[in-house]
Amino acid sequence: MLELYFHPSPNPLKVALYLEEVQSKYELKIVDTFRGDQHEAEFLALNPNAKVPVLVDGDTTVFDSAAILLYLADRDQRFIGTRAERASVLSWLMFISTGLSPFSGQAVHFLHHAAEKLPYAQRRYLKEVERHYRILDRRLASSPYVGGSNYSIADMAAWGWMSFAHYILGEAGLSSYPNVNRLYTEISSRSAAQRVQAIRQATAVKTDFDEETRRSLFPTNY
Ligand SMILES: N[C@@H](CCC(=O)N[C@@H](CS)C(=O)NCC(=O)O)C(=O)O
């Protein structure tokens, strides 16, 4: 059976959504990153980068959410778009994976967790997140889905971070991006996404952001 190394945070949610969409059987392996599980030798053997998600499929191990989504979509020939849409799905998947996702991660870091309050860094990453959502919003004004006319792994990748948008953008959340919000609402109403949200709520992990957590998540600061 597939094993998904998981924490209820944005990047693992993308893969959980795919697996729920295809109604795959999989075992959730909880990695409590706030306690430092990602630095255990057993986990590092799966992902030397010490981050979730990781997928183990028999004797195949894949790490990084975009790699896992591509691996699964290629394996199943699902959610990768039509042949004509393939280039567009790949382009937008990379836009999410190398743009929206890491900028969102850094925005969370500087807005909520940095030991020093650094207005320049806060503004830089927040503005980059907003810029990515503006680009996505323009795309979605003329396209039903991120990659084109079909729901694809590019939408699933976007949904992972959209689910945490309020944590970066504040109470307004995605409301300034009506087309992004439309897609977020549509995906969230799918039964697969609802099952993922239920898993997210039910996963018992550490939430205190104390010294142990700072050392686990930001080890290079020490
Ligand atoms: N590029 C990676 C990033 C993975 C990532 O940053 N995962 C976070 C959870 S969303 C994590 O494992 N954080 C724990 C840590 O950085 O120690 C991906 O898309 O999978």
Structure tokens at 107: 């925005």
DSSP letter for each residue of 101-142 = HHHHHHHHIIIII-SS--HHHHHHHHHHHHHHHHHHHHHHHH
Q: Which percentage of the chain shows pLDDT scores above 90?
A: 100
Pocket residue to mutate for ligand 1, from 11, 61, 163, most atoms within 8 A of Cβ: 11
pLDDT digits (tens, 9 = 90+) for 63-91: 999 999 999 999 999 999 999 999 999 99
Mean pLDDT within 26-30: 98
Mean pLDDT within 198-209: 97
**Distance from Cα 110 to the centre of ligand 1, integer Å:** 16
Q: Which percentage of the chain shows pLDDT scores above 70?
A: 100
Ligand 1 binding pocket, CB closer than 6 Å? 7, 9-11, 33, 38, 50-53, 64-66, 101, 105, 217
Instruction: Measure Cα distances from 82 to 77, 86, 88, 150, 185 in Å.
Output: 10, 6, 10, 8, 24
pTM reported for the whole predicted model: 0.97
Mean pLDDT within 12-23: 98
pLDDT band, residue 126 (cuts 50/70/90): very high
pLDDT band, residue 188 (cuts 50/70/90): very high
Res 80: pLDDT: 96
For residue 80, what is the DSSP state? S
Average pLDDT over the chain, rounded to whole?
A: 97
Res 22: pLDDT: 98
Q: Please name the residue whose Cα sits nearest to atom 1 of ligand 1.
A: 64
